[in-house]
Amino acid sequence: MNVLIPTIAAAAGLTVGYKVARLTEVRALGGVALAAGGVAAFKGWQENAGTGTAAALTAVYLGGFGYSHALHKKIGPWPAVCAVTGATVLASLAFGREKK
pLDDT of residue 98: 87
Query: Which secondary-structure segment (H or E) carries 63?
Result: helix 51-75
- Residues 6 or more apart whose CB falls under 8 angstroms from that of 38 comprise 10, 13, 58, 61, 62
Q: What is the pLDDT of residues 11-68, one digit of tens each?
A: 999 999 999 999 999 999 999 999 999 999 999 999 999 999 999 999 999 999 999 9
C-alpha closest to that of 41 among 99, 100, 78, 95: 95
CB 46 within 8 A of CB 9: no
30 or 1, higher pLDDT: 30
Is the pTM value of this prediction over 0.85?
yes
CA gap 90, 93 in Å, rounded: 5
Question: What is the per-residue pLDDT for 5?
Answer: 96
Question: What average pLDDT does the segment 83-98 reach?
Answer: 96
